[in-house]
Chain A
Amino acid sequence: MTSADHQATHDVVKHSERHEGPQKHIIVFVLSIVLTAIAFAAVAAGGVNAAFTVLLLLVMAVIQVLVQMGYWMHLKDRGHMMPIIFMLGGFFVAGTAIVTALYWVWW
């Protein structure tokens, strides 16, 4: 095999790898639907311990957001170091604002 051939096969392999199909994204979509359905169902069912419901809802939301940002917004891909740092920074400051609103606004 000449090096040019090798290069060509390599390209083809890389090509098919990079042109990922829709499967992954459909899985993410289905997962999102399921997580959303669980959240809605937990609230609609009622009667369950309220604190548990709140926790469940938040966990469902966070998982859904992480999966969507990782796959749909490609944050899990290589070369996304800076985006991840800056999104974490944003979420961190947003988090402090939310904690403040919950604990330090009313007394």
Chain B
Amino acid sequence: MAHAHSVKRHKGLMDWLTTVDHKKIAILYLLAGGLFFGIGGIEAVLIRLQLIKPMNDFVSAQTFNELITMHGTTMIFLGVMPVIFALMNAVIPLQIGARDVAFPFLNSLGFWTFLFGGLLLNLSWIMGGAPDAGWTSYTPLSTTTYSTTHGVDFYTVGLQIAGLGTLIGGINFLATIITMRAPGMSFMRMPMFTWTSFITSAMILFAFPAITVGLVLLSFDRILGANFFEVSNGGNPILWQHIFWIFGHPEVYILILPAFGVISEVIPTFARKRLFGYSSMVFATILIAFLGFMVWAHHMFTTGLGPVANALFSIATMLIAVPTGIKIFNWLFTMWGGQIRFTSPNLFAIGFIPTFVMGGVTGVMLASAPADFQFHDTYFVVAHFHYVIVGGLVSGLLAGLHYWWPKMFGRMLNETLGKLSFWFFIIGFHLTFFVQHFLGLMGMQRRVFTYLPNQGFDTLNMVSTIGAILMGIGILFFLINAIATAFKPKGVAADPWEDGRTLEWAIPSPPPEYNFKQTPLVRGIDALWKEKMAGNKGMTPAEPLGPIHMPSPTILPFVMSVGIFIAGLGFMFSKEDFSNSFMSLIFNNWIVVIIGLLITFGSMLLRSLYDDHGWHIEVEELEEEGVKA
């Protein structure tokens, strides 16, 4: 072969640091997501322990502020985002019949940038105090006047870096889905998870630049003395709220749409029926995404936007119930008359539906501006968004993880442990958050670190804390399940649920690094199911067996992310008064920033100068593996 290039194959840790394989990057995302989800979960339990009884002094008020801020920030940006990206990486190339994503290098870069951003943010715990201005970091609370530690700087810089990684990932998946689909896989034949991930990626593309600017403004105010939010010099704190929510509201739909996609995969599989109303599902997804950009000011009703704006945003918000309702009914109609199997992924998926509906109903209540003046900043809001994000999104992700675990790892999760984890999770969840609706209606404010006794809050808070612990046990069961499964031998079938409908179930579990030996020909929605119904053994190949070109592993994405990390730290401490003269020399003169940027841009230059020729898997090798399988 003329194109045969020798390529260095790494082993062990170096293999993971240099991999550009989407399936391995999926596992990296899952590990990172698990780490941050664990940190955020511990923070949640600490919050609930503090609130278990009135006038508790388990943690101080300052620590409590740091805990709630880091819990929200970690869970949204660092906990569930990477798990979503883990599923997207593990599944999308397989579902569209591709050998890899459009940009394997960028895929790796996106992950490492995200990881180092998250690590930077969490370093705040050991470097002088975590951010304490809430996950929304509203000005002026988050300006240097009121937030004097470096906490908020860790927030702005850490999220900036992590957000860059997310944006890179989003663009990569858009390009992958647009250009890498197998022959016959038209847009309207794509599996729903691919569709929702596509729309989510588009929302990432349009929403994240807004928060990029917001974080730049806030960090310039805090570090360079700019006046964007400094009222005394002409700034305007409301501007932060607008920019934050122009990003922030789409962000919550960025989170939930992939969960909708997971549910739309799991329910048809275990009902042995095709998804009811496929095209209305697609339409509803697009409509939700569009409306998602049109409703941000419903977070700001009480700032005094005036009746016209409040009415507009109120109505726009209520409109979202329509496409969401379409989805709910479609799932119900899919199950209607199906041969439903209550496997653990399906339990999570079925549990998702009523829970999410409850969160949606309180959403419509909150959308009513006059009522929102009562609900605003109370536990009612806390209950609402936990219903959609935990009861909805996290349930969806757990459904997806149980469902695709055999595909990702080649091992089935234990069903008993899976069901235990479901029941603990769902009962614990409702115990925790259902009562919070009433706490909110009775007037308990969110973000308060304690409360006086005998206001009717005592019992409900106790119940809520007990629920949180049950939910924690549910997650622990999942963790135990994952670890125990890792010690079992590999070797599940290509289609372990036996009713797989989409392309990922047509190839071995876990798939070989080239995914498809021959690109499959897609003949309809639910491509694999269609072949099964036609009595075929597998997919019809769309190309003859030939050598497969693979991208080379590379350490550069890792190095680039380290560079950005160093530059971020340098920027944060550039105006710090150091007692150590060496530290003040390198930090106050921007030397650290310059070193970090040189590392990053230097790696970028190397990547540009030296073309990656990749390597080939030859036909003989493919045939040999075929014999083995």
A residues sitting closer than 8 Å to B (CB atoms) are 82, 86, 89-90, 92-93, 96-97, 100-101, 103-107
A101 near B242 (CB under 8 angstroms)? yes
A101 near B246 (CB under 8 angstroms)? no
Residues of B within 8 A of A107 (CB): 304-306
- Interface positions, chain B 279-323, Cβ under 8 Å from A, are 293-294, 297, 304-306, 309
A104 to B306, CA, bound (A): 9
Partner of B243, one of A89, A97, A103: A97
Residues of B within 8 A of A104 (CB): 242, 297, 305, 309
Q: How far is the CB of B625 from chain A (nearest CB, A)?
A: 36
The answer to whether B210 has its CB under 8 Å from any CB of chain A is yes
The answer to whether B452 has its CB under 8 Å from any CB of chain A is no
- Interface positions, chain B 221-251, Cβ under 8 Å from A, are 236, 238-239, 242-243, 246
Partner of B178, one of A82, A93, A105: A82
A105 near B236 (CB under 8 angstroms)? yes
A16 to B41, CA, bound (A): 65
Give the dominant DSSP class at B's interface.
helix
A100 to B300, CA, bound (A): 12
Number of A-B contacts (CB under 8 A): 40
Partner of A93, one of B238, B242, B246, B309: B246
A106 near B297 (CB under 8 angstroms)? no
Number of interface residues of B (CB under 8 A): 20
B242 near A105 (CB under 8 angstroms)? yes
Residues of A within 8 A of B16 (CB): none
The answer to whether B206 has its CB under 8 Å from any CB of chain A is yes
Give the dominant DSSP class at A's interface.
helix
Q: How far is the CB of A103 from chain B (nearest CB, A)?
A: 8
B210 near A93 (CB under 8 angstroms)? yes
The 3 closest A-B pairs by CB, nearest first: A93-B206, A100-B242, A105-B239
> Besides A89-B205, A100-B246, A101-B242, 18 other CB < 8 A contacts?
A86-B174, A86-B202, A86-B205, A89-B202, A89-B206, A90-B205, A92-B293, A96-B246, A97-B210, A100-B242, A103-B309, A104-B305, A104-B309, A105-B236, A105-B239, A107-B304, A107-B305, A107-B306
Q: How far is the CB of B314 from chain A (nearest CB, A)?
A: 14
A93 to B206, CA, bound (A): 7
Closest chain B residue to A81, Cβ basis: B178
Residues of B within 8 A of A90 (CB): 205-206
B239 near A101 (CB under 8 angstroms)? yes
Residues of B within 8 A of A82 (CB): 178
B210 near A105 (CB under 8 angstroms)? no
A104 to B297, CA, bound (A): 9
Partner of A96, one of B178, B205, B294: B294
A107 to B309, CA, bound (A): 12
Residues of A within 8 A of B309 (CB): 103-104
